[in-house]
A and B are shown apart, each in its own frame.
Chain A
Amino acid sequence: MSPAVMDNLCAMEFQAQEANPVEGFLRVDRMPHIWCPGCGIGTTVNCFANALLQAKLDLEKVVVVSGIGCTGRVAGYVELDSFHTTHGRAIPFATGLKLADPELTVVVYSGDGDLISIGGNHFIHAARRNVDLKIICVNNFTYGMTGGQVAPTTPVSAIASTTPYGCFEQPFNLPYLAESSGAVYVARWTSYHVRQLAHAMAEAFRKKGFTFIEVLSPCPTLYERRNRLGDGLDMMKYFKDQSVVRNGASTREVGLSFQGPIPVGKFVDIERPTFLELMNQQLGRTLDAEYTGCGEGNVCA
């Protein structure tokens, strides 16, 4: 172990005795949370808090918007302005919020079923428009909140309560979907990769435009038990053993299969003007001085 890592560990231990460094980001009055033992969502929230520290954002201006589902409950546990919206509609709500007050950093934190199934149409359109939203999609391969039904991310052959004989639908390759829809930043990590995940989140928060991070997370209660994959720790071992860092890989090549290899890393990081930048450009050009502008410092209120 290098001296630098030792120093880090010592510092962390010291902090742990003082106070958990992420405690200030959590609504401790709402603990304990609803997530099951072994679930990875809480781990991602820890990474999220660390990312906020790293990115040095003005916390008054950071907003979390969630949809419905296990990950949808994240909004309720973060000590920030937070919205728990309707199923699938976190992105359009966040779109209205961001466009009406561009000074806000709007994070959409939700699950794969919420963002990609019922909310799939909003996902592709917000990416197409390049609305400045930070999407964190926790993918646990199933609908956890409702009891483990098949999801648009369930791998072929996996058992779900509504595919008791095995899933035969092809799942979405989320990074590929995000990139082809127009996302400017696309990464995938798992709840095992806490440092890389926190780093990716911080990077996305500092970037303008529609960013997308997929986080694979265990669902021991429903997905793993039904598929006889062991407990949360076994899934973490799978994430550890089967993950292959492939930064810059073509998203077309990073699809997942049942317990197969997991390409992780940052796949896309490009520049493209945002919805508001393009709107201001177009209207400014057409209306000249008549256009009062909508953007930094100008709230539609």
Chain B
Amino acid sequence: MKADPSGVMTGTHFLDGDQACCEGALAAGCRFSAGYPITPSTEIVERFAQRVPQLGGMFIQMEDELAASIAIQGAVWAGAKAFTVTSGPGFSLMMEHLGYAAMTETPCVIVDVQRGGPSTGLPTLPGQSDMMQARWGSHGDYQVIALCPLSPQECFDLTIEAFNLSERFRVPVLVMMDECVGHMTERVVIPPASEIAVYPRRYTRMKPGEYKPYAAGEEGVPEMARTGRGYHFHITGLTHDEHGYPAMNADAQKKLIGRLIAKIRENTEAIVRYEEKFIEDAEVIVVAYGITARVAERAVQMARERGIAAGLFRPVVVWPFPEKRTRELAGRARAFVVAEMNYGQIALEVERLVAGRAATALVSHAGGAVHHPEEILDAILAFAPRIEATGRRTTLEIEDAAELEAHRPEGFVQ
């Protein structure tokens, strides 16, 4: 299915990431948003409130983020595509409804323009410290999808993809921006509607009476029915059976939660997306995402200029993490340097997947500003100590992890 042209602002624009995110939502067919003001995300819904009345939709500013994150789900069940946007403190308040969306399989999009935390933290300055919260923030076991744009262009592209993935897998999808990406202004090319793929809602063709709201369909995903069409369905956040009725026992729990996990895990390869640069011969791989990937790329270039075989691995979809590719790379690289604006979140995931087959190091940052490329370069250099005078590097002479450990720069947490 292609995008509805009415919402697509085809052309070349000069937009910031927040504005581009809003345009992505409109292009994806989103016509409902409920929000609560919070820096640095508010511009997304300010633009939405201005644009959507002319497109047959609406924005409502709710009384808080709890309300915003559940109002969008009501709208989804009424037939709309809906999203909300927030930042750290609001993201914390939305956690219960992230779980409700996962449990009731309500397709929706939540944008978190990350700022420095915890608590009120740094409202106007960037952070990347909500990455684990995105994955684990609501109670219970569930799966989400999270994407990490690094430019206004990607804020547009990935917001569309977020809506598409949410409809395809009936999961809440998180767009994990950061203040830098949200507020930087760059060229954004919006293609014609005919070139934008939009995943339609998986509405059932079954008749009322035959239809079971939670019977697994294609890819383990149940079909949806729309409210007010005579299906008389029941939706609950309680553990439920295929009819949607509460089922308070271990078997029902295993069947439901097992499916909620499996529909993402078993389709991980279809969901993951990553970008690689200079990876073919890389001995030291820098892992970075969002704005930090742009700094990391500079560090990789600087390393290459010094003749070091450094490469960049950038997860575009961060959850589910590109596990298979990370394991493959772990089999051939000597070291992974994870750069992120926190004290080690995605680094833990990399360590888990590398599983001792290569060294791992974290270049942390408390947030409030982006890394300096030199900080990341220093970490790369620490794993590539022997370089020939010609500038062409030889094979690293470090053969085991213990020796690598000795070369680890001070102050880096593994």
Contact = CB atoms under 8 A, between A and B. Distances in A.
A92 B55 CA distance: 23
B70 A92 contact: yes
A103 interface: yes
B233 interface: yes
A82 B234 contact: yes
Interface stretch (B73-81, B261-269, B401-409): B73-81
Contacts of A84: 234-238, 246
A113 to B, nearest CB: 16
A253 interface: no
B271 interface: no
Contacts of B70: 85-86, 89, 92-93, 96
B34 A300 contact: no
B78 A279 contact: no
B53 A83 contact: no
A301 B74 contact: no
A206 to B, nearest CB: 18
A89 B67 contact: yes
Given A84-B234, A298-B56, A301-B80, A101 B66 contact: no
B246 A60 contact: no
Nearest to A92: B67
B369 interface: no
Contacts of A160: none
B201 to A, nearest CB: 9
Contacts of A290: 53-54
Interface in A85-110: 85-86, 88-89, 92-101, 103-104
A55 interface: no
A79 interface: yes
A252 to B, nearest CB: 25
Contact of B80 (A80, A93, A100, A291): A100
A193 to B, nearest CB: 29
A101 B79 contact: yes
A292 B56 CA distance: 5
Nearest to A286: B53
A253 B253 CA distance: 49
B319 interface: no
B245 A76 contact: yes
B58 A294 contact: yes
Contacts, number: 156
B141 interface: no
Interface in B203-227: 227
Nearest to A84: B236
Residue of A61, A97, A287 most packed against chain B (CB within 10 A) = A97
B73 A279 contact: no
Contacts of B81: 301
Contacts of A299: 78-80
A97 B227 contact: yes
Contact of B79 (A30, A293, A301): A301
Q: Is the interface of B mostly helix, strand, loop or mixed?
A: mixed
A121 B96 CA distance: 17
B227 A96 contact: no
A150 interface: no
A125 interface: yes
Contacts of B136: none
A120 to B, nearest CB: 10
B341 to A, nearest CB: 31
Given A96-B71, A97-B227, A122-B67, A83 B58 contact: no
Nearest to A282: B53
A81 interface: yes
B72 A287 contact: no
Interface in B35-70: 53-58, 60, 62-64, 66-68, 70
A121 B236 CA distance: 22
Given A76-B246, A93-B71, A292-B53, A100 B62 contact: no
A95 B227 contact: no
A47 interface: no
Interface residues of A, number: 45
A254 interface: no
A89 B237 CA distance: 12
B31 interface: yes
A96 B78 contact: yes
A167 interface: no
Nearest to B99: A86
Contacts of A291: 53-54
A53 interface: no
B324 interface: no
A75 interface: yes
B75 A97 contact: yes
Contact of A122 (B60, B63, B229, B233): B63
A86 B67 CA distance: 11
B97 to A, nearest CB: 7
Contacts of B245: 30, 76
A92 B228 contact: no
Residue of B32, B75, B81 most packed against chain A (CB within 10 A) = B75
B82 A75 contact: no
Contacts of B31: 300-301
B261 to A, nearest CB: 21
B250 to A, nearest CB: 19
A89 B67 CA distance: 7
Nearest to A77: B234
B140 interface: no
Interface string A26-58: 010010000000000000000000000000000
Given A89-B66, A290-B54, A300-B57, A95 B235 contact: no
A63 interface: yes
B232 interface: yes
A283 interface: yes
Given A84-B238, A86-B100, A92 B57 contact: no
B105 to A, nearest CB: 13
Given A100-B75, A122-B66, 11 more contacts: A65-B74, A82-B235, A83-B234, A92-B62, A92-B63, A92-B74, A96-B74, A98-B78, A99-B75, A100-B82, A287-B53
* 9 A-B pairs with the lowest CB-CB distances in the bound complex, closest first: A96-B74, A96-B71, A97-B74, A101-B78, A92-B67, A100-B78, A301-B79, A100-B75, A84-B236
23 contacts: A63-B228, A76-B246, A82-B232, A84-B234, A86-B96, A86-B97, A88-B66, A92-B68, A92-B74, A96-B32, A96-B34, A96-B70, A96-B73, A96-B75, A99-B60, A101-B227, A121-B64, A125-B67, A287-B54, A292-B54, A298-B56, A300-B80, A301-B81
